Amino acid sequence: MSERTAAFCDRHPLFVAALYCVVVIGLGAWSPTLAVVAATALAAAAWRINGWRMAAGWMCCATFAVTVMTARERHRVAAGERLVAGAVGEARGQLTEDARQQGRYWSAPVRLKGGPCSGTKVWWEGSGEPPVAGALVTGKGGFEPLPVTRNPGEFDRGSWLRQRGIAAVFFAGRMPGTVEVPTATRLGATIRHGLRDRIIAGLEEPSKSADIIRAVVIGEKPRDGKELVESFRNSGTLHVFTVSGLHVALVATIGWLALSFAGVTRRRAVIVLVPLVFAYAWATGNEAPAVRSAWMTTVFLGAFVWRRRPDLLNSLGAVLLAALLWDGRLLFLPGVQLSYGVVAAIALAAGPASNCFAWMARPELYLPVELMSRWQLRWWRFRRRLAQSLGVSLAAAVGSAPLTAWHFGLFTPVSV
C-alpha cells in the first residue's frame, strides 16, 4: 500500500500538494486545532513514504496559503468596518465583472479607487443601464454591512459575498451615477455584443431558441426564463448555462481538429490553441470557471511544447495550488469546488467507471479485428468511444453528486 501511495505521489506531486492544502484550509475554517493536527499527521506520513523534501514542500505551501488567506480576511474585515462607519458620500470604483440587471437596478462587484480603502472589493447596487467589466463607476450613497440570514434554510448571501472577498455593500440610491468606459473595455464590449448577435443570426428574437443558444455558447442568463432554467436544473444539465470547462474544452477540441486537418504539428498547434481558449474566455465575459479552465488547458497543453507526457491530475493540481496560494477563500465557493472536484473525479474514476460499460466495447467473440469489414470496424470503434464517454459521464456524475446535493439540494442521476 505504501509503495502504491509513494508511486502515486511521485507521478502527481502537484496534485497531492494541492490536496494537502485543501485539507488544511478546509479543516482550518472549521477547527484550527484539527487543521494543525491533520497537517502534522499528513506531513509525517509524507516524510515516511517519500522523504522530508515532500513533507517540507507540503507544509510550506499550506503555511503560505493560510497566511495569505488570513491576511486577506483581516484586511477585508477592517476595510468593511471602516467603510460602514464612514458617512454617506461619493464612491468610485472599477467593475471586475459584468453587472447583473434586475429590473431598473443592477449589481456587480467593484474594486474601489482612491481613498483610504482603495483596492477593497465591495458589492455595488446601482440603477440605470448595467455597465460592463472594466467600466469606472461613480455614485453617491452609503455603505452597509454584509447581509445576515434571518430565516432557516435561507440562502446565505452574506457568506457568499464574504467568500468572494467582498467587504461591504454600497447602495448608490435611485439616482444613476456616472459611468466611464475605457477604450479597451468598450472594444471588448463591442466584440462580445457582436458575437452575441452573430450566434443567433437568422433566428427570431426574443425566442427560446435564441435564449438557449446564447446561454450555451456565451453563458448569458435568459431573462424571464425561470421555467427554462428549471427544466435544465432538474435534468442535471444546468452547467451548460455557465461558460465553464465544458465550453473551453469544446473550443480547444474544435481548434485542435481544425489544425490537425490543416497539417499543423502538436507543438505549433499549442501556440494557437492557448490564445484561442483565453480569447474565448475573454469574449464570454471572463467568467471565473472559464478562466480557470483556460489556465488548466494551458498547463495541460504545455506538456506538448516541452515534449512531456500530459498529466491531467498534475495540470489540475498546478492550477488549484496556484489559486489557493493566491487566495484560499476561493476553496469555499461552490463553483470552484465543482470545477476542480469534477475534473479530479474524471481523472481518478473514469477508468474504473468505463469498466461498467466494457461489454459495449468488446469485439465479436469469433471475429478478430483484423478480419472486420470497414463498417464492422467503424461500428466497433463507435461502441468503444461510447463506452469511454459513458465512463467519463458516470465519473463526473458521481463526483459532482455530493457537492450538488450539499450546495443545491439536488440529486439528478438522469444527468449520466
Q: CB neighbours of 168 closer than 8 A, spacing ≥ 6?
A: 79, 80, 83, 84, 120, 122, 123, 143, 144, 145, 146
Distance CA 300, CA 297 (A): 5
Q: Note the pLDDT of residue 78.
A: 92
Whether the CB-CB separation of 142 and 165 falls below 8 Å is answered with no
Q: Note the pLDDT of residue 124.
A: 92
Q: Note the pLDDT of residue 112.
A: 92
Q: Note the pLDDT of residue 123.
A: 93
Beta-carbon neighbour count of residue 309 at 10 Å?
7
Q: Note the pLDDT of residue 128.
A: 83
Q: CB neighbours of 359 closer than 8 A, spacing ≥ 6?
A: none
Q: Note the pLDDT of residue 224.
A: 59
Distance CA 9, CA 112 (A): 43
Q: In the numeric block, which cell numbers belong to residue 173?
A: 440610491
Q: CB neighbours of 268 closer than 8 A, spacing ≥ 6?
A: 259
Beta-carbon neighbour count of residue 324 at 10 Å?
26
pTM exceeds 0.85: no
Beta-carbon neighbour count of residue 411 at 10 Å?
13
Q: Between helices 13-30 and 52-85, what is the axis angle to 10°? A: 40
Distance CA 309, CA 286 (A): 29
Give the closest residue to 339 by CA, choosing from 301, 282, 396.
396
Q: Note the pLDDT of residue 156.
A: 83
Distance CA 126, CA 89 (A): 14
- Mean pLDDT in consecutive groups of 10 residues from the start of the chain, 416 residues: 77 89 87 85 84 86 90 91 83 87 86 87 89 87 87 81 90 78 79 77 73 73 64 64 73 87 84 88 77 84 77 87 88 84 87 82 75 82 86 83 77 61
Whether the CB-CB separation of 106 and 193 falls below 8 Å is answered with no
